[in-house]
Amino acid sequence: MQLKKRFGQHFLKDPAHAGKIAEAIEGWGTTYEHLVEIGPGGGVLTNFLAEKATLGRTLKLIEIDRDLIEPLRAKYESQQVSIENIDFLDADLEQIGNSFGVCGNFPYNISSQIVFRVLEQRARVPEVVGMFQKEVAQRIAAAHGSKTYGILSVLVQSYYEVKPVFTLKPGAFNPPPKVDSMVIRMERFRSEIEGLDETHFFRLVKAAFNQRRKTLRNSLAAFLNEKNNLAAINGFLHLRPEQMSVTDFINLSREIQKHVN
């Protein structure tokens, strides 16, 4: 099998690690019926998932590499398992169902984009179990005050509880990546936040961390105007973004929204 660098392919080799990923998926068959595996590749994780795809559990494999589609179909396609040759970022997720989980050894070159797509679809996605570059996984799970805390941390943790599952060295993959890897589990605890304009909130968080060395008074200048009740948010404006908790960002966004024309 010829692996393609443009797809970020690093196939997991060890079935024991694949089994641990499958075991970390808790909601399939109880919280939701449909599970999507992104980038099944050689099928080492799919072997475990296909075994579990019985009555009340359907599995959809989304694979961008057309050369892998026929082998996947020959081995796994059934009444409960379907395969689609498409980029997950372009997939029509509405046709999968009102509720589905997401899992996989995610291609590292699009893993952050996968997370943002999940956030867009969070009302449909109660659970994510995925393999990421360790640095990206740590950013998603980071607490405020740490150097790795950033946009992904705040936006994901606003809706999902994030738990590390295990880490892997490069030798667990073919070909070995140049970085360590980490599996994390994201469990949704809400899909909406009362009184929060999602578009405003996402823009505000991104603006704050795009100039993370500046205080919020400077990085969020475009969000502030003479009509803002600065007294109500003054306690935040001297801080840098990494000093703000998820709840702080939510409260700040709510307060600024009150004074938007």
Q: How many CB atoms lie within 10 A of CB 17?
A: 20
Average pLDDT of every residue of the chain: 91
Number of domains the chain contains: 2
CATH number of the domain that residue 246 is part of? 1.10.8.100
Which of 161, 196, 122 shows the shortest CA–CA distance to 26? 161
Residue 231: the pLDDT is: 64
Quote the tokens at residue 71.
């082998």
Place of tokens 């899909």: 191
Mean predicted confidence (pLDDT) in 35-60: 94
Domain span at residue 210 reads: 198-257
pLDDT digits (tens, 9 = 90+) for 156-204: 999 999 999 999 999 888 878 889 999 999 999 999 999 999 999 999 9
H-only helix segments in 97-225? 111-120, 134-141, 151-157, 198-210, 216-219
d(CA 92, CA 79): 20
Mean predicted confidence (pLDDT) in 126-146: 96
Confidence of residue 5 (pLDDT cuts 50, 70, 90): very low
Identify whether residues 229 and 102 lie together within a single domain: no
Which of 173, 100, 111, 109 shows the shortest CA–CA distance to 140? 111
Please state the pTM of the whole predicted model: 0.92
Residue 175: the pLDDT is: 79
- Which regions of the chain does DSSP assign to beta strands (E)? 11-12, 34-38, 58-63, 81-85, 100-105, 127-133, 160-168, 173-174, 181-188
Last residue of a domain, one of 139, 160, 188: 188
Residue 6 reports pLDDT greater than 50: no
Residue 18 reports pLDDT greater than 70: yes
Quote the tokens at residue 91.
């997939």
Residue 193, domain member (yes or no): no
Identify whether residues 184 and 65 lie together within a single domain: yes
Identify whether residues 41 and 170 lie together within a single domain: yes
